[in-house]
A = this chain, B = another copy of it.
Amino acid sequence: MLEQPWDALIPAGGQRRSEMDRSGGQGAGGQGNGGHGTGSAVGFRPLYRQVYDTLLRRLADAVWQPGQILPSEGQLAAELGVSQGTVRKALDALTADSLLVRRQGRGTFVAEHDDKQSVFRFFKLRPDGGGTGAPLSRVLAITEAAASVDERDRLALVRAARVVRCERLRSLDGRACVLEAITVPAALFPGIHAMPLPNTLYSLYASRFGITIAMANERLKAVVLQAREAALLEVAPGVPALEIDRVALDLEERPVEWRLSLCLTDSVHYLSVLR
């Protein structure tokens, strides 16, 4: 299934009954998996990590759709030739990564991120008062063009790549407060420039293009609004704004969206929880 051409996953400890000798031989510590696809040295991963990768691949390939139920732990264990406990460890890890949802008595499901509570996973602006107003959006423009230098840089694109750009104005509790410039690779989102865009773009990415946003890196700065930006946000030029430079990554950690947001923060703040 992986790491080895054999049908079953190779164990890393435990009394597995396979007759195959140690082949590569080595086991390996635990946490030092690295990732990023290099790992030419030993390339060993614990069994549950291999199960994790196997299931992650199926999620990335949309074998299971969002909201759909997965086979039970026992069925997956039998299919992959590992114990139920090992499958559980992989499923728990995928749940911790917000890719699965497990419900006692019902089953394990592919996470849906268009729920009301999930809107706020990647939207960290909150009204100062503590109200829970969900953001509303108005699309100003959507165009297709050749990628700029910045866009190629953020999205790891080649020179000739084309992108789709979208400008949106978002409001919270009825007040315009965010101006967003969104860029996605045209190749990954064919036809998106002609679609009606929902408020939560990431659910559209998942349902129409099979792209799941798993993570985002945001870089925040305080800036001063330019004339055009200020006009769109209906404030005076020179007002300070919070600039959020976000690159969103899919399940395979490829950058698939660049979003530059300008936020008015007089009655709104960006919430960050450090652990």
User: Is A121's CB within 8 Å of the partner chain B?
Assistant: yes
User: Is A11's CB within 8 Å of the partner chain B?
Assistant: no
List residues of chain B with CB within 8 A of the CB of A240. 222-224, 240-241
Q: Is chain A's binding surface mostly helix, strand, loop or mixed?
A: strand
If the complex has contacts A29-B104, A263-B222, are A98 and B275 also in contact, measured as CB distance less than 8 A? yes
Number of this chain's copies in the complex = 2
User: Is A273's CB within 8 Å of the partner chain B?
Assistant: yes
For residue A32, give the distance in angstroms from its CB to the closest CB of chain B.
11
User: Is A166's CB within 8 Å of the partner chain B?
Assistant: no
Chain A interface size band reads 20 to 34
In the complex, the answer to whether B265 meets A220 with C-beta atoms within 8 Å is yes
Chain A, range 221-237, C-beta contacts under 8 Å to B: 221-224
List residues of chain B with CB within 8 A of the CB of A94. none
User: Is A136's CB within 8 Å of the partner chain B?
Assistant: no
User: Is A18's CB within 8 Å of the partner chain B?
Assistant: no
CA distance A198 to B234 in the complex (A): 45
Residue from B97, B104, B274 in contact with A124 in the complex, judged by beta carbons closer than 8 Å: B274
If the complex has contacts A104-B30, A274-B122, are A222 and B219 also in contact, measured as CB distance less than 8 A? no
In the complex, the answer to whether B222 meets A271 with C-beta atoms within 8 Å is no
In the assembled complex, 24 residue pairs joining A and B whose CB atoms fall closer than 8 Å, in A order, are A29-B104, A215-B273, A215-B274, A216-B273, A217-B271, A217-B273, A219-B269, A219-B270, A219-B271, A219-B272, A220-B242, A220-B265, A220-B270, A221-B242, A221-B270, A222-B240, A222-B241, A222-B242, A223-B265, A224-B240, A240-B240, A242-B242, A270-B272, A272-B272
Q: Interface on A for B, CB 8 Å cutoff?
A: 29-30, 97-98, 104, 121-122, 124, 214-224, 240-243, 245, 263, 265-266, 269-275
